[in-house]
Structure 1
Amino acid sequence: MNFPFLGKRREDRRTHDAEGIGDLLADCDLLRSQASRDGVRLDDSAVSLEQLDQVLPRWRGDDEIVTWLGNDAGLYLGTVIVRTVPGAAWSIRSDGQPVVRLASGREFDVVASGQEWAAVGVPELSQLYGEVAET
């Protein structure tokens, strides 16, 4: 039996924590709600990123929504990368910012990318995914 409160090996805790953080970061409630209203189902695939790029950006007139939606878009982009690109994993920088670390060791600030996408629409999420998936 496994009793977490009794302690486990350090490697197991890190793996569990990474999975828990990934699940938490994948929520993206505002983005999922916006996408659903526009008929886009977010299924953690590269195709869903292409579909998001086609959504009419009605949110751009509201700075608060742009910030929150951009954050969600970045976290969703990171979720798709982590779930589909071999060796990619979530990492939390010392300043608390979640980033995706690729197998090469390169860190990708998905939140900054998502905020730029929400604010101006470029680069597209699918384009960013393609660039990361190639490395």
Structure 2
Amino acid sequence: MADHPIQGLMKTAMENLKEMIDVNTIIGDPVETPDGSVILTVSKVGFGFAAGGSEFGGKPAEKKSEDDETREQKLPFGGGSGGGVSITPIAFLIVGSTGIRMLHLDENTHLIEKILDAAPQTLERIQQMFKKNNKNQSQGQNQNQMNNMNY
């Protein structure tokens, strides 16, 4: 059986989409700054694809005689395909001598990442508070012991 015309449309569209899909589409090419830092663009990519077609009715198949098989008749075909791509930069990944940093373009939507960035500092402050309280308590106990000895 011969390929249907819609198969050709789908194949061409899918091959073109494959060519567009590349890791450099999402993580951009590195750009080196004069201070030695490297900046990479991080993008959100969306693809859309549609294809469709229709065969239009033709004349009924003709028979040569009662014993002959029906001849195949090609029906007229109409179809089309289309696609779209949306590429939106969402952040920059900065790799420098001070470490790796993610700079988001939309600061409001990245609350969780901000919390994760602040977590180590917060835990360190809490630990310092507990150490300070423990130190004050032990000094208070030592003072009470000294006061009890004086009586």
Give the TM-score, by structure 1 length. 0.24
Give the TM-score, by structure 2 length. 0.22
Greater relative contact order (CA < 8 Å, ≥ 6 in sequence): 1
Greater gyration radius: 2
Q: Which has the higher strand share?
A: 2
